[in-house]
Structure 1
């Protein structure tokens, strides 16, 4: 077993830990952030869902899984931005929780820091999970958890706007046909497409389906395929098919533009489904097309259930029962419905679609999805992503051509 001691923390992790002092968290327990504060024999669970209080179905599920495993559970909920730092600090103090639920891009960071045990060590079963979703929790040939669910991006479309412009959504199969649809929409006096190209991870997140849809790789930012993807977005702005506001749009503000009713398309995620139902117009959902058709790989969002390294490895047997309960077929269905997630297993997804047929395009999008840290990028991804969003900003603002912007991005990564 890879027992954790302070010396296993990398220098980068130690720097992050130093920044955690003074942060706060919401808790359904006693408010402490210590994983073993009372040493009362309970098993601790940390999650990024502070929106769910003690009386929520989520909290009841955790308690129920504890009862089935014959133990009490003590849950603490953090904001996503705080959770990574708190987990690193707890590991430094040999005080990690038993179960840690993390945003999937963070898994490789904590794995590299020596915080997480592998599924070979803790014996958590991942055999039913789709390989493309499981890859987000893998690094160096090892798996460090199992996804609790996934969300991703697709194109919402306004049926009324497309009908008025004479666009048949069935004709939109690739970039050429999508651009032709946007041209018709503009000619009809409406607006084409809105998305988020802000200079943060949100901008990279939204650009990746087009980047990957062109056949580009994150290890080759300056490739002709990458340039074609950025040229697509740049040309849309130049032709007025997308608004200049996308440069500063978050996913929330771009969604607000779409629900105004003037736009034909919006790139956004499963988390907007409830808002779409309230928008006041008929809408549909289309997986983001690749350059020549088919579904582009969109980045996966969602969390992984992980098991931090424990000095007492005897705890893993009970922890495994807790993880198995949380990710069981029955509980995944309820949890993913609550979180607006698509399930990571085909069995649960089939049940979701049988209950709600409108989830079908999202299921197709998730099947094609890809983890941002996949391809064994791990902790290299944040640096690559930063240069990618900077390139997008440069090209869309007109300060550089797409080729110049991406060549500079690749040079900066090297």
Structure 2
């Protein structure tokens, strides 16, 4: 593994480093220097500042350290800060031993030469579902292993659908979903809410419909892509969805659904606890594809990775830590804590056996797709930006879906 030490950060990575700000992170103590004080201390960086030192997550990290015979020094950053911190640390040969990072960022860090491959670090990824593992693959190589996944589906209000005479089992495709929305509106209730804000959240929520049409991210202006944007645009025109979706985040969209007035809301696994507190009977339906079946929704969730180290002797123990964190027993406990669907069929089956309400989420995750999959890698952010701009343009009425997506494709080129 000595070959890792010769890598240098790419120019793009150095640009990101130059923009790094000094935002503070939550830490279990000491400075945010990645290296431990001695070889008996191993550093782990994660994007879970919500979990304090005494949490189940922190205790799991310490437990895996004990099994490997080392102490753990953990630092937690907000997701938005973590990438810049990692790139800066890599420039200084001060990377953490183990890095847990949002899956779309993996290809950025891999291209920058920050991460080791699973061929090099010997991580076993054989149990991970291939569609989830793909989010951490770039140029034919795999960089880390998924710790868990979340994705999008349709929450529905059973009382609203019943009052409108809608049988949820009849919803198989876009045509039947739109027909259900029409019935709901005629019954005096509201149809569907989602997030179409001009950020990554907007792209994240549009992707199931875009992919569900059969469209590809390399061709934003295809007839299939146009049909997906026209679907959303028509829903607004007909009053099936509110104009507020243009500014909705996934949080404000959920707040609309939580009023009890809406039949459907597109949202994620992370809202399950809020759904239980909603005060009304709800269900979950995988997002239908245009012609039927489940649409591919984008995967959220993190990868556990091993950054490049100047001291290559650290890899063996770091690999033991990751293997411990992603073992079957620990994945089950961790993904329950994070409200994630596990990345392996074995643990997914345990989750559904313990909580039958997770079944539609497991189905959605099995159909899901990484945003950087299909070897898009670092091209994805530029494509995504043009996608959300096209969605905003069409939903606001500034351009037709066709013209909005044509402009988006031209901008990507």
TM tier relative to shorter chain: over 0.9
Cross-structure match for 1:385: 384
- Report the Cα offset of residue 232 of structure 1: 0.2
Q: Distance in 2 between matches of 1:391 and 1:69?
A: 50
Instruction: Provide Cα deviations, 1:350-374, integer angstroms capped at 9, x if missing partner.
Output: 0000000000000000000000000
Q: Is the 8 A contact 1:4 1:114 kept in 2?
A: no
- Report the Cα offset of residue 317 of structure 1: 1.0
Instruction: Provide Cα deviations, 1:210-230, integer angstroms capped at 9, x if missing partner.
Output: 000000000000000000000
Cross-structure match for 1:18: 18
Q: Distance in 1 between matches of 2:18 and 2:411?
A: 27
Cross-structure match for 2:4: 3
Q: Is the 8 A contact 2:197 2:247 kept in 1?
A: yes
Q: Is the 8 A contact 1:212 1:298 kept in 2?
A: yes
Query: Where do 5+ consecutive residues of structure 2 fail to align?
Result: none
Cross-structure match for 1:210: 209
Cross-structure match for 1:413: 412
> What RMSD, in angstroms, separates the aligned Cα atoms of the two structures?
0.9
Cross-structure match for 1:361: 360
Q: Is the 8 A contact 1:4 1:91 kept in 2?
A: no
- Report the Cα offset of residue 4 of structure 1: 3.6
- Report the Cα offset of residue 40 of structure 1: 5.2
Q: Distance in 2 between matches of 1:291 and 1:120?
A: 39
| 2:38 matches 1:44 | no
Q: Is the 8 A contact 2:181 2:192 kept in 1?
A: yes
Cross-structure match for 1:292: 291
Q: Tell me the secondary structure at the aligned position of residue 8 of structure 1.
A: coil
Q: Distance in 2 between matches of 1:65 and 1:39?
A: 18
Cross-structure match for 1:80: 79
Mapping of 1:35-114 within 5 angstroms?
35-36=34-35, 38-39=37-38, 41-114=40-113
Q: Distance in 1 between matches of 2:146 and 2:37?
A: 30
Mapping of 1:194-343 within 5 angstroms?
194-343=193-342
Q: Is the 8 A contact 1:270 1:340 kept in 2?
A: yes
Q: Is the 8 A contact 2:123 2:319 kept in 1?
A: yes
Cross-structure match for 2:395: 396
Q: Distance in 1 between matches of 2:255 and 2:86?
A: 34
Q: Tell me the secondary structure at the aligned position of residue 291 of structure 2.
A: coil
Q: Tell me the secondary structure at the aligned position of residue 289 of structure 1.
A: coil
| 2:331 matches 1:346 | no
Cross-structure match for 2:125: 126
Normalising by structure 1, what TM-score?
A: 0.98
Q: Distance in 2 between matches of 1:33 and 1:197?
A: 36
Cross-structure match for 2:151: 152
Q: Tell me the secondary structure at the aligned position of residue 299 of structure 1.
A: coil
Cross-structure match for 2:134: 135
Normalising by structure 2, what TM-score?
A: 0.99
Q: Distance in 1 between matches of 2:63 and 2:134?
A: 29
Q: Tell me the secondary structure at the aligned position of residue 59 of structure 1.
A: helix
Q: Distance in 2 between matches of 1:334 and 1:307?
A: 22
- Report the Cα offset of residue 398 of structure 1: 0.4
Q: Is the 8 A contact 1:136 1:370 kept in 2?
A: yes
Q: Tell me the secondary structure at the aligned position of residue 53 of structure 2.
A: coil
- Report the Cα offset of residue 66 of structure 1: 0.5
Instruction: Provide Cα deviations, 1:266-324, integer angstroms capped at 9, x if missing partner.
Output: 00000000000000100000000000110000000000000001122221111111000
Q: Tell me the secondary structure at the aligned position of residue 204 of structure 2.
A: helix
Q: Distance in 2 between matches of 1:373 and 1:40?
A: 35
Q: Tell me the secondary structure at the aligned position of residue 3 of structure 1.
A: helix
Q: Is the 8 A contact 1:196 1:247 kept in 2?
A: yes
- Report the Cα offset of residue 38 of structure 1: 2.5
Cross-structure match for 2:192: 193
- Report the Cα offset of residue 22 of structure 1: 1.8
Q: Is the 8 A contact 2:118 2:143 kept in 1?
A: yes
Q: Distance in 1 between matches of 2:393 and 2:12?
A: 29
Q: Tell me the secondary structure at the aligned position of residue 4 of structure 2.
A: coil
- Report the Cα offset of residue 37 of structure 1: 5.5
Query: Where do 5+ consecutive residues of structure 1 fail to align?
Result: none
